[in-house]
Amino acid sequence: MRVLVTVASRHGGTQEIGSRIEAELRSRGHEVDLAAPADVVSIDPYDAVILGSAVYTAHWLPDAREFAVRFAAELPTKRVWLFSSGLATAPAAAANSPAETQDLMEATHASSHRAFGGRLDRGELTLAERAIIAAARGKEGDHRDMAAVVGWAGQIADELAS
């Protein structure tokens, strides 16, 4: 199957998740392209789309939301999965599943949505982002579970093969 993995990432952490997904699908025999949502001009060549976004202030990044709008008519004809990556940890883990996720699930006819932890390096942040992270009490470090990412991608690969 031909799969598009498209990821909106501000500082590269969510992009790295997309790269792991791409690698796992490719290792399972699928033809995979990895692209930023703004760079995708057509989804016609693809059998499946995996759309992911970093989560900031409990929202997906605009490029990912705009991708879903731009391809709203075509996405329901594809197999679609969504994922989010953010810094929320218990008890605020719901912030990694923003309110718009349900709307995106319905609009894209996605099979599922998966939330993953994110990565925080304050040195990469703007002053405004550091203020938001301080107010949200974001914990510095890499909170991504790459084994879970690869496991999820493996489940998708199995579904695509069936």
Count CA within 13 A, CB hemisphere, residue 148: 10
H helix runs in 28-99, sequence order = 62-70
Helix H or strand E encompassing 86: strand 79-86
pLDDT, residue 55, reads 85
pLDDT, residue 91, reads 39
Asked: is 2-161 a CATH 3.90.550.10 domain? The reply is: no
Considering the entire predicted model, what is its pTM?
0.84
pLDDT, residue 144, reads 80
Q: What is the pLDDT along the chain (162 residues), one digit of tens a residue?
A: 999 999 999 878 899 999 999 999 999 999 999 999 999 999 999 999 999 998 877 788 999 999 999 999 999 999 999 999 986 544 345 555 566 788 888 989 999 999 898 766 666 666 666 666 655 666 666 778 889 999 999 999 999 998
pLDDT, residue 77, reads 96
pLDDT, residue 4, reads 98
Q: How far is CA 138 from CA 8, 14, 49, 53, 91, in A?
A: 20, 16, 30, 18, 12
